[in-house]
Structure formats: C-alpha cells, structure tokens
Structure 1
Amino acid sequence: MTMFYDRFDTPIGRMLVVGDDDAVVHIDLPEARRPLAIAPDWRRDADALAEARTQLLAYFAGTRTCFELPLAPRGTPFQRGVWEALLDIPYGETISYAELSRRIGNPKASRAVGLANGANPIAIIVPCHRVIGANGSLTGYGGGLDAKRHLLDLEQRHKPFALSA
C-alpha cells in the first residue's frame, strides 16, 4: 500500500499529514515530542491529501467544527477505544481524563487513558486536545501546551451557540 504525506503551514506551525490510499493515518504537530520520521518509500503528494489539508485549514479558520475524513489510526484495541471516545467530545468542550475513563467503561483507568490519549496518532481530527486535568488545568500534550491552548482558544472563539427551548 502506498503511503502519502504532505506538509503545510497552519497557525500553530508546519504540520505533517500522512495517509494511505484509503485514509488519514497520522498527523504530526509542529512541536511533537516524538516527530514522525518520513519513510523513504513514502511519496509526497499534496493532491492525495488535499481534502485533509482543506478541512484542517478550515478548522483553523474557524469555519469547520467537525471533520469528515476516513481515518485509520494504528494502535492497540484499548488505544483505539480511547481514540473512538475522543471523537464524541463536542467541539469547544473539554473533559477530564477521569471522565474519559468513565466514558469507556473503565473508571479506574485514568492513567492508561492518559497514555492512550498521548499516543493518539491523528491529533486535532481525533481531538485529544479536549482532554484536560481534573482541576481544569492544561496537562501534557504531544504537540506542546502552547498548541493545546491555541486549539482550545480557537474552539471557544468559534463554538456554535446552542439555542435554548
């Protein structure tokens, strides 16, 4: 299977997006703790990842609140379960690691959930930045706390208003 990648500038810096013929498999943030190495057999192809780029740039512009892309994150079944639960956190909202643990049916797994959250290979689209400390503090983020703060501030500025009945 052919792997494609593209790099482009965003308000938080230059991002790397990786995909295959079917889906996005990885997004590397500019200040990633463990930057992804581009394999020699991967092909740079902006056209193959054009829709991911378009949707991410719309997100940064505040005009997109959810993504409609095929995703194929690679991880253990537990990690994939955590990442699936991250997709249910609404735009502009945050939850704690303990709450995320409860949502996956394992309330005593906060530490394991934190590790899985930190291993999320598709940052922003799978919104691991929406998970914060129990006291509301911004805790570790693979792309750096400045990026996490930027993403959360962006979502607060562009959060859709809920209409009350």
Structure 2
Amino acid sequence: MASKLVPKVNPKQEGSPCKEKHVVLLSPVGKIEISGCETGVHEIKLPKTSVLPSGVEPSVACEVYQGPEEMPEPLQQCTAWLRAYFCEPATTGTLPLPAFHHPLLQRDSFTRQVLWTLLNDVKFGEAVSYKQLADLAGNGRAARAVGGAMRSNPIPIIIPCHRVIRSSGDSGNYGGGQQMKEWLLSHERLQKEKVAGGGGP
C-alpha cells in the first residue's frame, strides 16, 4: 500500500460529545459561519449571496462579528487563517492550519484522500481540473468522484475546492455559488500578481 498523508484530525473522544461553538466572521464576501469545538473545526458555511463586491481590494476588514467569549483554539486558528486569506494572503503559508473535526475527514475514503491532496498540493492562485486532481489523488479515472468530494467538502476556502475547475477552463459548480467561486479565483489571481510584481512598500 502506498503511504498516505495522515492529516491532523482528532478522533472524537468516546462518551464525551463535543461542545460545539459557533463564530460568525464578517468578510468581503459576506458573513462566514464557522463551527467547531476544542478538538477541531467542524464546518465552514459560506454565505449564499448573489451580489459580491466588484474589485478585489478587500472592501471590508475581516473581523469576528459574533462568537463565544472563550473561543476554542481551532476556531481561533481558523478565523486568523481566513482573515489572512482575505486581507493579507501572502501570510497564510506561515499560519498554522486548524485541526479538523468532521466525520468525513476521519473516515479513510477516496473523498478524504482527494480533499487532503487538494489542501497539500494545489497552492494559492493555482487551479486544477477535476481530472488532474483525480490523477494527483491516485485515480485518474475518478474525475466524477472528485466532483462529489468537492460538493461534500465541509471546510471550503481552507480546503480550496474553489480551485478545481472544468478541463474546458469553465469554473464549474460551487457550494457558495458560481459568483463566489469566480470572486475567490480572481482574488487569488490578483493577489498573486501583486506579490509577483514585487508590490513592495
């Protein structure tokens, strides 16, 4: 058996259900809802929106809109990472990724393999086709299954399913809506160009 990447996923402690906490982060694309516990992030819910800001300069600072007084560490790391993604994307590579605590990411499955491959191999400002991602995850004929994995991704943006596009170059479907997907891709492209252009002080 080929060795697989083993992500940092904390198993549920038997007999001790998680104490789920919720945070709402105000972002340039609207309110992002994050749920999680001491063990890890459960889910990131993107706003369903049909109107997104034009232009990609973050028009809204990213800030916690509402959340618990005592925020578990995975939620702190998640909000810090998302804030950096929208406001200072060049710094996301230096930030710790939060632990994930979602059943889908704990079962050994092709879906989990695809999501981890995407997280590790497809960097900021890049895009891959469903087929390329299937190849990277070790099964080039599973492009359709990759589409299913993208639809069930519980941690969008951090696990960047918006970077998976059709072979034709068309952006394809997205849980947060097609406009959201195109906004995220455009945000990354512009930020990457800015860094490449030596957008220094």
Q: Indicate the TM-score class for this superposition, using the shorter chain for normalisation.
A: 0.7 to 0.9
Unaligned runs of 5+ in 1: 33-43
Quote the offset at 1:51 in angstroms: 2.7
1:71 maps to 2:97 = no
Distance in 2 (CA, whole Å) between partners of 1:62 and 1:146 is 22
Question: Please, which runs of 5 or more residues in structure 2 have no aligned partner?
Answer: 1-17, 50-66
- 3-state SS of the aligned residue for 1:25? strand
RMSD after superposition: 2.0
| Residue in structure 2 matched with residue 45 of structure 1 by the alignment | 68
The within-5 A match list for 1:116-127 is 116-127=149-160
Structure-1 residue corresponding to 2:161: 128
Could you tell me the TM-score, scaled by structure 1's length? Answer: 0.84
Q: Is the 8 A contact 2:35 2:44 kept in 1?
A: yes
Contact 2:81 2:92 (C-alpha < 8 Å) held by counterparts: no
SS of the counterpart of 2:141?
A: coil
Of 113, 123, 136, 2:146 maps to 113
* Deviations 1:17-69, CA, capped at 9 Å, x for gaps: 0111121121000018xxxxxxxxxxx52633233212211110133344522
Look at both structures and tell me which one has the larger radius of gyration over its CA atoms.
2
Relative contact order: is structure 1 or structure 2 higher (C-alpha 8 Å, sep ≥ 6)? 1
Quick one: which amino acid aligns to residue 113 of structure 2?
G
Determine the structure 2 residue equivalent to 1:14: 31
Match of 1:38 in 2: none
Deviations 1:48-106 (A, max 9, x none): 32332122111101333445222234315221111101112011000000001111111
**Which of 32, 40, 43 lines up with 1:23 in the alignment?**
40
Amino acid at match of 2:167: A
For 2:163, the aligned partner's letter is R
Partner of 2:176: 143
TM-score, normalised to structure 2's length?
A: 0.70
Distance 1:3 1:73 in 2: 12
1:161 aligns with 2:181: no
Task: Name the amino acid aligned to 2:45.
Answer: D
CA contact (8 A) 1:129 1:152 kept: yes
- 1:97 paired with 2:130, answer yes
List structure 1 runs of 4+ shifted beyond 3 angstroms.
Answer: 62-67
How many residues end up aligned between the 2 structures?
152
1:55 counterpart residue number: 81
- Between stretches 82-91 and 58-67, larger displacement belongs to 58-67
AA aligned opposite 2:26: D
Distance in 2, Cα, partners of 1:95 & 1:139: 12
For 1:126 and 1:74, the matched residues in 2 are separated by 15
Q: Alignment identity in percent?
A: 35
